[in-house]
Chain A
Amino acid sequence: MISIQLAIMIPFIAALMIPFLHKKLPRIHVGWFVLIIPTVLFIALTRFIPSIAEGKTYLNTVQWIPSYGINFTTYVDGISIIFGLLITGIGSLVILYSIYYLSAKESLHHFYSYLLLFMGSMLGVVFSDNLMVLYVFWELTSISSFLLIAFWYHRKKSRYGAQKALLITFGGGIAMLTSFIMIYLMTDTMSVREILSVIDPNHTLFIPALVLLLIGAFTKSAQFPFHIWLPDAMEAPTPVSAYLHSATMVKAGIYLVARFTPVFGSNEIWFWLVSCIGLITLFWGSFNAIRQIDLKALLAYSTISQLGLIMSLFGIGSIAHQLGAGENAILYTQASFAALFHLVNHSTFKGALFMVVGIVDHGVGTRDIRRLGGLMSFMPISFTIALIGSFSMAGLPPFNGFLSKEMFFEAVVNVSQSNLFTLHTFGLLFPIIAWIASVLTFVYCMIIVFKTFLGPHQPEKLEHEAHEAKIGMLIPPIILAVLIIGIFIFPNLLGDYLLRPGLASIFPSLGGMYKPISIWHGFTPALWMTIGVIVVGILIFRIQSRRKSLYFPPGKWTFDQLYNSTLEQIELRGFKITELYMTGSLRDYLVYIFLFFGIAVGGVFLLTDAFHLDLSSNAPISLYELLIVFTMMVAGIAIIFAKSRITSILLNGVLGYSIALLFVLFRAPDLALTQLVVETVTTALFLLCFYFLPKREKENSMQKTKRVNIVVSILVGVIFVSVALSAQSGKLFESISAYFENAYELAGANNIVNAILGDFRAFDTMLEVIVLFIGGIGVYTLIKLRAKKEDENVENQ
């Protein structure tokens, strides 16, 4: 049998080769080469079915980052094989359809590369056993979906839809990654199989991990309120919508919920979140679907609604984990079984419906319900397929949707009678919401068929003359339509070979027990509910179609509005905040720096109570020194108040020379010499600058700024003094300078300072020379550059 790792990698390798094939063989539609891949994979996967049905599973590991426990481990069991077959099977049909749908003028090599990339990552998601590998493939599906939605990237709406899908699914992906990390922290393993046996439901991280995982699943599967990206993703080419946004990618979240039901399912929160969000999504999706005027948007909302149905069934199924083994548990595992069954059914009829809508769009150039009508006589085959798909979605016999809808009603009726999880109070809401949503589902299914194919034909509103599509375009939806009826006739074939092993993976302790599906199951409450749906649905549809306009505009408070305004506000606020502190004024930034210094150093100083003053080691003060210090203080303060610039430069000179004097008194002759020379040159430079600068303008800054400046400077000064005093007072160790007093023996020098500079620590001196050198070069370049620039200006003129 084919290695699953290889099966996952084949689409990636093929995606690399597609552009070359496209270039080398431009006369053959590149889709034909692509078609081989999912077909081969589908056949390879079908060979697993018999052994999986016997309860076997396959585990295979290829080492990737073994030191972190991250290995490319694949696990084939009941659930993953269902998804694997859906991905490859629907994939083959969609590729066949797309060969006829896309004209050779499109950039086909891009399209098929992205599609193969998506297919490989989707296979990776369902077959991965390692959490991190699963996450990697999960994000790859988001990226490839992004690329496919924006396939016609010159359209503004495509780009908008792609960005929206990316932001929402990536947000969920990050939540899921967080959850995976938490699971790893709890269980110390990355393997999904091993988590089951070691997870501790009482761990503090259990609930956060559960909720974050569900956020990941809900965003991917377009559950309420994250469903808003799916209708906008309809800007993608129709094959993409059929494949990604109805049959496969949106079911990744469902897969995640199914996969983790054994881990988290025993918790009450899991049940409430999954089933309630599912029901809300089911209702909200069907309610919005009947308001749409675009067929693809209608199908998008119907997908949302059906995904909600599947999700809520998985939620109800998780009750079985509470009950353990036994007859009672089987009542609820039946819900999960229904979920798996509807999952397969939905992929068949939704795929077919999208393809039909694509055919209509392709044929007459519009998908607007208001412009369509009376196409039945022009497109009989498409009409038949649409009829089968819609009636199946509405839950009518003799189509597979009927069976799954019956099982759904049965499950919600059962849950309303459950006395677990305080369900006896809210339980009745389950069947009521489910029933209302089903009525709405019935109505929009009727809209698809009757508004498009029946009623008056309006040729003047269509871009092309109506005609039936090419046979190649019709084959994939015909196959799906045949499947829809086939599953209705032989439901237990599917149940035994595929769904039962899947159920066994969700409920390992129960081993996949289920009641066989019967087409006729007596006058159960579910059947009466279906009859009610049909009657009320027809009534509503008749009232609906009397109204001239189906469409009533959405109110101001929609989730789309919320999403748009959130993005807008984030951008606006972000800009405003940045504007607030990035003023462009040097003075403001300096205030921040000084204030940070004050808060950080001053704060730590106060907190640690570090102030310490010890005057005993102070040297005695002489009159000379005091005089100089006094002069310096006066000169320093006078600089602030100096009216003219020359005064301040001269006062700075006074400071410099006074320091030189202090150096003399402190027995530092070399310093005194250097300081004198440097101060002289600096003052000369200042005077030079002063000569070229304009007359000093008055410091006419506002009083407030001035006050802030004063406070900041005093703060900095006070902190400086207190830190310096404390440091000076507490000497911890003796100085190392005694060593340098051996300058004569070690370096042959009498002058210790010069020996340090030229011998002991000559490296400093070398670099200091370089600094001076660079300063000189800098000055030279600055002055020279001007001449050069003037030359350029002359040339430019």
Chain B
Amino acid sequence: METVIIILAGVLVTVATYLILSKGILRVILGTAILSHAAHLLLMTMGGLKRGGVPVIGEGNGTYTDALPQALILTSIVISFAVTAFLLVLAYRTYQETQVARGLKDE
């Protein structure tokens, strides 16, 4: 399972990189969003997948999946959300001021 998820994350990283390298500013932001998805998946996988019950005491039969990566991902999701929101507003404002929605200097 881990291998499959890692390959999925790799595909997402490739897609994200490609999007970040493109001209449209919205595509760049989409790329960063996808990159954070890949990072979250990687964090999850590195902790090992499905080795027990939900990490809530009393549930399952006494073994739990690793809770630490979950806490880390939760923190990360919130932070990447804040950054994405800010970037989106920034793109929106930049377009309003300059009428340019590209990440390139010329053209």
Contacts and interface: CB of A to CB of B under 8 A. Distances in A.
Contacts of A665: 50
A666 B44 contact: yes
A768 B73 CA distance: 12
Interface residues of A, number: 100
A636 B34 contact: yes
Interface of A is mostly: helix
A720 B13 contact: yes
A727 interface: yes
Interface string B64-107: 11111011011101110111111011111101110101111110
Given A587-B104, A750-B57, A753-B70, A655 B37 contact: yes
B4 A626 contact: yes
B49 A629 contact: no
Nearest to B91: A689
A786 B98 CA distance: 12
B78 A636 contact: no
B106 to A, nearest CB: 7
Interface string A397-436: 0000000000000000000000000000000000000000
Interface string A763-775: 0110010011011
Contact of B88 (A667, A689, A753, A757): A689
A667 B65 contact: yes
Contacts of A580: none
Contact of A690 (B17, B26, B37, B104): B26
A751 B56 contact: yes
Interface stretch (A101-109, A130-138, A232-240, A615-623): A615-623
B1 A619 contact: yes
A782 B92 CA distance: 10
Contact of B82 (A633, A659, A670, A775): A775
Given A682-B33, A752-B55, A764 B9 contact: no
A712 interface: yes
Contacts of A693: 25-26, 91-92, 95, 101
Contacts of B50: 619, 665-667
Nearest to B47: A735
B82 A718 contact: no
Nearest to B95: A693
B55 A667 contact: yes
Given A637-B15, A667-B54, A709-B21, A681 B41 contact: no
A583 interface: yes
Contact of A728 (B33, B45, B82): B45
Contacts of B77: 671, 674-675, 678
Contact of B12 (A591, A621, A632): A632
A556 interface: no
A655 B34 contact: yes
Contacts of B37: 655-656, 659
A362 B102 CA distance: 67
Given A701-B23, A720-B13, A728-B2, 5 more contacts: A667-B64, A670-B70, A693-B25, A699-B23, A771-B82
18 contacts: A586-B28, A590-B21, A594-B21, A617-B2, A632-B8, A649-B30, A670-B70, A686-B88, A689-B91, A693-B92, A712-B21, A714-B14, A717-B17, A728-B45, A744-B57, A750-B57, A752-B64, A764-B75
Interface of A: 583-587, 590-591, 594, 613, 615, 617-621, 625-626, 629, 632-633, 636-637, 639-640, 645, 648-649, 652, 655-656, 659, 662-663, 665-671, 674-675, 678, 681-682, 685-686, 688-690, 692-694, 696-697, 699, 701, 709-710, 712-714, 716-718, 720-721, 724-725, 727-728, 735-737, 740-741, 743-744, 749-753, 756-757, 761, 764-765, 768, 771-772, 774-776, 778-779, 782-783, 785-786
